[in-house]
Structure 1
């Protein structure tokens, strides 16, 4: 018995976004591994350099759960790239402070990340790269700005 397949009138946007996101993450992971970083470590270093931020704030920016954030900061501390310190604004809070070595690595990792992004966008013909970025920015600022609550939430992609 053969199952009847449904015909699609529209492209599978979910598949296209999931697939490109997954492959981009694998490229990024391979590129950052060359300097001993993960994408999460890069994210924490770059955002901790911008201003004084707590682990909780950095976890929100990087879309990490609390446990993942603790492990990531532990790895950064072990590598001598960051350390936990009391906040200058709130003595009860602790921030993630980037060391001098961490700042140098963050600068290098940002060049790597920018390079991977440039390579990917350059693979699109003509102005398609700029159009893709414009469209994605519109989606994340508009229709797809926030997740929708559901009785059966979508499973997040494994990192």
Structure 2
């Protein structure tokens, strides 16, 4: 450290949240890949099973842009797990309907997601797990609920090779 480097007075919350989130996503991706799904495919299946939803509604829930959503639904259709159908509520709208096989796979993928989350928290004592989850929920529903507008979108920095 040089004399000109600023002194950090707070823990690097951005790094801690970004790093743990990244590692959790990679673990989730690897676990879901074992049954041929991505996290996005899992998200669409689970939320489409909750109630009749359009592709646009599911994209918003899953924080996906239109192109990513189309690619995801195309993959689900190709695998026989979901299909685009006319809405029963609004004949102009198209919904994503989960097939019987898709519902079975969603049940399996939810068990995988729950296991990955359980394993991620297993290194913490139960009281710390509960405290962490309460704190993250409070942040995600409060101060960190809405992204700030920025002229440059925030992107994940590339990790250096070790």
Q: TM bucket by the smaller chain?
A: over 0.9
Task: Find out whether 1:123 has 2:123 as its counterpart.
Answer: yes
1:52 alignment partner in structure 2:
52
Name the residue aligned to 2:10.
10
Partner SS for 2:84: strand
Give secondary structure in 2 for the equivalent of 1:97.
strand
What TM-score results when the alignment is normalised by the length of structure 1?
Answer: 0.94
5+ unaligned residues in a row in structure 1: which ranges?
none
Deviation at residue 39 of structure 1 after TM alignment? 0.2
Aligned to 1:38: 38
**CA shift at 1:157, angstroms?**
7.7
Distance 2:109 2:157 in 1: 24
1:91 equivalent to 2:91? Answer yes
Matched residue count: 157
* Alpha-carbon displacement from aligned partner over 1:75-126 (angstroms, at most 9, x marks no partner): 0000000000000000000000000000000000000000000111111134
Runs of at least 5 residues in structure 2 that lack an aligned partner in the other structure: none
Indicate the residue corresponding to 2:142 in structure 1.
142
**Alignment partners' CA distance in 2, 1:68 and 1:148:** 23
* Distance change in 2, residues 1:143/1:29 (3 Å): same
TM-score, L = length of structure 2: 0.92
1:128-159 CA-partner distances (Å, limit 9, x unpaired)? 1111100000001100111111233323689x
Identify the residue that residue 73 of structure 1 maps to in structure 2: 73
Secondary structure of 2:83 counterpart: strand
Cα RMSD for the two superposed structures:
1.6
Q: Secondary structure at the match of 1:5?
A: coil
Residues in 1 aligned to 2:70 and 2:46: alpha-carbon distance in whole angstroms: 17
CA positional deviation for 1:4: 3.2
Spell out structure 1 runs of 4+ moving beyond 6 A: none
